[in-house]
Structures are given as C-alpha cells and as structure tokens.
Amino acid sequence: MAILHEYVESSDDDGFHVKDRYENMYNTWQVNDSAEDLFIELGYEDEDPIPNELFHLLRRIGLVYTNESGVRPAESLDDLQDLNNGDANALTNTERQRLINILLNDPRVTPGQQSELKRYTNLGKTTASHEDTPDESTFEGRVDEYDEYWVAVDLTRFLGQLLNDSDATAKNTGNSKLAREYTKYKQLKNVLKQECSNMPGTLPLYKEEIGPKSEWKVMTKEHLKQNGVEIPGQEKDSIAKFEFKSYHDDIALPGGYDIPEVWSQSELVDEQDVSLEDLPEKTREALLKQAYRELANDMIQLLEEKRSDSS
C-alpha cells in the first residue's frame, strides 16, 4: 500500500510525497499542490497509508506522478472498480464524493478523463447519505488561526517557486533574503498546521466557505501561468514560471507584501528569525511549545549519549 510522507524541514522540497512498492521496487511519487490540498482535506497526514482506490485514481489523473520508467497508471478507471472490496483499499462515500467533485472541477483534467470520472460516478459509489453532506457551514466566521495558516501555506508555495527559478537555494539563508523568507514561512506553516489540526474543518474547506480577506492580494492561477512573476534581485532578469504540473492554485498574499530580493549580502543573517512580538499570541504559544519539545528531545539525547559513554 502507498504511504504518504511529508518532507522534513531540512529538505529543499516542501509538502508531501508518496512511497509505493511496484513490481518489487520502491518508488517515490511526487505530489502536486492540487493533490496535497486534497490529502489535507480528506484528513491524511504524514506516514498515513493511502487507500489503493485513491492512489491509483490520482495516478490515472496525473496529480501523483513519477519519472520512473515502466510505472504506468491504470489504463482506465474501470480497472479500479474492484478496489472497494476491502476497507484498506476503499474510500468512504464522503471521501469519494469530495474526491470526484474536486477532480471534475480541476482544469488539468482532460475532457476524456472527465468522462471517465463521470462514468465512475455512475457506478453508484459516490452516493453520499444526507448525514454526509450537512447544509450548515462548519465555520461561524473568520478564524485567525486559519487565516494565518492560509497565508503561510500560500507564501511557502509562492516563495518556493520563486526560489526554484532563482540562482539561490533554500540553503542560502546567509545571503539570500528570498531564502530566509521561504524558510521562515515554511517553518511557520508547519507550526500552524499542528495548531489547526485540532480545530473544526480543514484549510481547503475554510478557503471555500469563507474566502480570502478583502485586503489580501489574490493572484489567480491563470495569471501566474500566463505571466509568471519577476524575481527581484537577480543578476539577470528572470521570471518564475508557475506551470500546472507543479503548481495549481490561486495565491493569496497579505496586502502590501513586497517580494524579497534574492541576494542581500549586506543584511544580517539573524534577520531570518521570526520576531515573536510580531506574531499573534496563539502562534507565539505554538512556537514556544515546539521549541520546548525540541530542547527536551536534545537533552534526552545528550543524557543517553553520556550514559552510553559511561557504560
């Protein structure tokens, strides 16, 4: 069975990837932003097994992909019809209904694939009960934690694409303001993800029901694909390209947000640190809790090393 994994913070990559055994070999599958949002909405987390029905359907549509030769998606969604015979392989009616609805509204899905999805829907698998589709909204109004998480997720994706198309990498935090900003929001995103995990609803559902703040600047995926974004601070003029194969969502940026320059050798390295005073109270508390946990783990490891040396 395929297993969902989240890239570690030290990695240059962000988000999820999938590991699956195929013909006695383990393969790593890339997950694009659309599939990442879908995993989050359906409640999947790091190291969770993915039902075969979901994994193979995403392979067929191309939202989960690999460049390994000899690994092919199902020839047709008809090949997936026997996957609902076991609990480990099948989706619930609610998950399947959400999945189909998302994919049918995905501009990457071709007319032929849409026809397959509609035929798959007509198999009777996607009929949700009345309890599965409540009419009332999950959210009573704006939620500060979800707003902060939304911005952190979008900035991580946005800055990550700029960084990928620039001369810098995520490791150049010492002399790249762009790398520092990316690292800051990537860390903040992971903290806020944990903060929001115990709250009602999900970020994709919050986006759909509540929408962006009026003062946010929304850059549509169509604009990003057609025009890209100029990368400031490069020695040569450069445009970040937001291709659908690796990027697939609108971006919401805080009002007045300035894109950081790539190279900034004259700035102090410690500017990469997040100022706690500038963050909301709940976010500060979450960051401090994470720091305490990391310190405790370091102390435990040190004590174990000393005990090992003494023996």
Give me the residues of the chain with pLDDT under 70, please: 8-12, 14, 22-24, 41, 67-90, 106-109, 121-137, 235, 244-248, 265-284, 311
CA 140 – CA 131 distance, rounded (Å):
20
pLDDT of res. 155: 93
Contacts with 191 (C-beta within 8 Å, 6 or more apart), sequence order: 283, 286, 287, 290
Q: How much is the pLDDT for 77?
A: 55
What type of residue sits at position 120? Y
Spatial distance between the Cα atoms of 112 and 116, rounded to a whole number of angstroms: 6
Q: Rounded to an integer, what is the distance from CA 290 to the centroid of its chain?
A: 20
Please state, in angstroms and as integers, the Cα–Cα distance from residue 304 to each residue in 93, 293, 294, 300, 310, following that order.
48, 17, 15, 6, 10
pTM over 0.95: no
| Separation CA 93–CA 53 (nearest Å) | 12
How far, in whole angstroms, is CA 146 from its chain's centroid?
14
Q: Which of 83, 61, 201, 208 is nearest to 145 (CA)?
A: 201
Q: How far apart (Å, rounded) are the C-alpha atoms in residues 29 and 102?
A: 20
User: What pLDDT was estimated at residue 159?
Assistant: 93
Strand partners, 251: 219
- The rounded distance, in Å, linking the Cα atoms of 45 and 265 is 38
* CA-based radius of gyration for the chain: 21
For strands 2-6 and 16-22, give the pairing: antiparallel
Instruction: Report how far residue 20's alpha carbon sits from residue 30's, in angstroms, rounded to the nearest whole number.
Output: 11
State residue 15's pLDDT score: 77
Q: What is the pLDDT of residue 132?
A: 41
